[in-house]
Amino acid sequence: MAKMDEPRTDTITETENYLAWKAEEPDGETTFHIELNNVTLHFFREEWDEFLELVKHLK
């Protein structure tokens, strides 16, 4: 059983080299994370939404 002060994490999607996951923080905030080899990007909800808009235009 997870402790009350630890975030609950869920994988959003992953490939062989990359991973996107989210964490439900104890304070109610949801954070999003993208692991790109040895770099991890961290986003709050508003930043995540803006990042997803950016990615839509990458093609």
pLDDT at 36: 95
Q: Is 90 exceeded by the pLDDT of residue 59?
A: no
Q: Which domain holds residue 23?
A: 8-56
CB of 45 within 8 A of CB of 52? no
pLDDT tens, residue by residue, 16-44: 999 999 999 999 999 999 999 999 999 99
Looking at every residue in the chain, the average pLDDT score rounds to 93
Do the domain assignments include residue 2?
Answer: no
What domain count does the chain have?
A: 1
Do the domain assignments include residue 32?
Answer: yes
CA neighbor of 30 nearest in space, from 3, 49, 53, 57: 49
pLDDT at 40: 97
Query: Which residues, at least 6 apart from 7, have a Cβ–Cβ distance to it below 8 Å?
Result: 23, 24, 25, 26, 31
If phi > 0 it is left, if psi is from -120 to 50 it is alpha, else beta; for residue 28 that is left
Q: What is the mean pLDDT of residues 34-59?
A: 96
Do the domain assignments include residue 52?
Answer: yes
